[in-house]
Chain A
Amino acid sequence: MKSSINRVGILLAAVLKVVAWALMAFSIFAFLASRDRDPSSWRGFSTVLSVGLTSGFLLRERIDDERVHSLKLKALSIAFAIAYPLAMWLDPLRKRTESITAYEFICITMLIALGLFHFWRWQDGRGDRAGAQKIQST
Chain B
Amino acid sequence: MKNRLRELRAAKAWSQGELAERLEVSRQTINAIETEKYDPSLPLAFKIAKLFKQPIEAVFEPDAS
A residues apposed to B, CB below 8 Å: 61, 63, 65-68, 70, 121, 123-128, 131-132, 135-136
Contact = CB atoms under 8 A, between A and B. Distances in A.
Contacts, number: 47
**Chain A binding site: helix, strand, loop or mixed by DSSP?**
helix
Interface residues of B, number: 19
B65 interface: no
B34 A131 contact: yes
Nearest to A68: B26
A131 B2 CA distance: 13
Contacts of A68: 26, 29
26 contacts: A61-B26, A63-B20, A63-B24, A63-B25, A65-B24, A65-B25, A65-B29, A66-B40, A66-B41, A66-B44, A67-B28, A67-B29, A68-B26, A70-B38, A121-B28, A124-B31, A124-B37, A125-B27, A125-B28, A126-B31, A131-B6, A131-B34, A131-B35, A132-B6, A135-B7, A135-B10
